[in-house]
Amino acid sequence: MRIRYKKWARPELEASEFYIDNPEEYKGKWKEKFNNKENPIHLELGCGKGQFISQLASNNLDKNYIAIDLVDAMLGLAKRNVEQVYLEKNMKPENVKLTRYDIERILNIFEEKDEIERIYINFCNPWPKGKHRKKRLTHTRQLEKYKQFLVPNGEIYFKTDDDDLFNSSLIYFEESGFEILNKTYDLHNEPIFEHNIETEHEKMFSEQGIKIKALIAKKI
């Protein structure tokens, strides 16, 4: 999703207590960034405007969350969304962190000691052209990276509107040795998540009559 430059985003992020400006410094030490260091850590790759992570994190205070995106404007909106949702619930956002980073270089900021329990990938760029497919967040090349910091039996929750990306991703997960625990080509009529949080893209595509594809994969 393209988004206009927002000059307020960078200053607001730098002033935020839950924005991490130097994620490489916390490789292997992410637990130290949370007040409740015993909570498992879940990770969202490509958080966009933050509607998903703000609801997910505020509904699950027994888990810690890290949300990553590459665009300051997106993260600025995510920061505001997190603040608003927590304010409405009369809570402080102590179990969520936002950071800006290129997910292709994710092994610069996470390692085995970080013990990530679950990864969420929602409506990522499908990169339809053949020469660009290695950039997909579910491509085998990326999955091999995630395996290095996912805990044993750690899970990846994936949602998309794109048929080709979904079918290809099923192959990618198999090639990388993940077990597909569940999958659906119509999430809203065949729910596979215990509590599905609808993203902005999900709502938009559903209103257009496009079925949402989803899967849960486990590291084995």
Cβ-contact 94, 131 below 8 angstroms: no
- Which residue range(s) make up the domain with 76? 9-219
Per-residue model confidence (pLDDT) at position 2: 65
Q: For residue 82, how many other CB atoms are within 10 A of its CB?
A: 27
Residue 135 belongs to domain with CATH number = 3.40.50.150
- Confidence tier at 4 by pLDDT (50, 70, 90): confident
The count of structural domains within the chain is 1
**pLDDT tens readout for residues 74-104:** 999 999 999 999 999 999 999 999 999 999 9
Cα–Cα distance for residue pair 64/60, rounded to 1 Å:
8
Distance from C-alpha of 28 to C-alpha of 112, rounded to nearest angstrom? 7
Could you report the per-residue pLDDT of 43-81, keeping only the tens digit for each? 999 999 999 999 999 999 999 999 999 999 999 999 999
Residue 61 identity (one-letter amino acid): L
Q: Is residue 4 in some structural domain?
A: no
Strands 178-184 and 150-160: unpaired
Q: Which DSSP helix (H) or strand (E) runs through 18?
A: none
Domain assignment of residue 121, yes or no? yes
